[in-house]
Structure 1
Amino acid sequence: MIIERVGEVDYKLDFPEELEGIHSTFHVSHMRKCIADETSHLPLIDIEVDEQLNYIEKHVEVVDHKEKQLLHKTIPLVKVIWKHRKGSDATCEVKEEMHKFYPDLFK
């Protein structure tokens, strides 16, 4: 919820107590209209963040492999299912990058 307007394009938000370590003032370009939908509620207990307070996404499994043909090269892709991802549960990622950051997916 917006508490107050700070300057011309910045707003201070009211966060729950669990999020007290997060800076509460945001530029208007980082805000989106939110219509509460109880089915999309994600309990804060299930969310993990790193020391810079970045959201940590957890991969579940690779469900498909394919190749994208460009003009002079082919890029291997994998379809990955993610836990706690808003919107689609699966994304296509570059296989080489996924193998570098998540080698346990390919064992």
Structure 2
Amino acid sequence: MVLLNVSPMKGVIRFGKRGKLTLRYIGPYEVLQRVKNVSYKFALPPEIERIHPVFHVSILRKFVLDLNKVISEPDMEISKDLFHVEQPIRIMDTQIRKLRNKEIPMVKVLRNRYNMEKCT
């Protein structure tokens, strides 16, 4: 398994990402065969089938699966429009911030998905 180094520039396929926080590597992809000494052919998904499947070694990075770094997905209900609702449980603290001309009431709330240290 290998990651591909990409440079998403204008006029070039952006691999589904836009803006300043673009991807540097995409993948992992399976190596199908070694074409020459320094080039390999990959099994690419249908979303990027317009790209030629043979790549030089210089734009590849070895993908090593480390099971210690795998993050389990949280058990939360996500609606079809990809939103989830966090319910407030209780108010932990209240205070008033004073600016020059106005006062802003601030409330620290404990939500249903967080512990006491992560109150917002």
TM-score range, shorter chain: 0.3 to 0.5
TM-score calculated relative to the size of structure 1: 0.43
Q: Choose between structure 1 and 2: higher helix proportion.
A: 1
Tell me the TM-score normalized by structure 2: 0.39
Higher relative contact order (CA 8 A, sep 6+): 2
Structure whose alpha-carbon radius of gyration is higher: 2
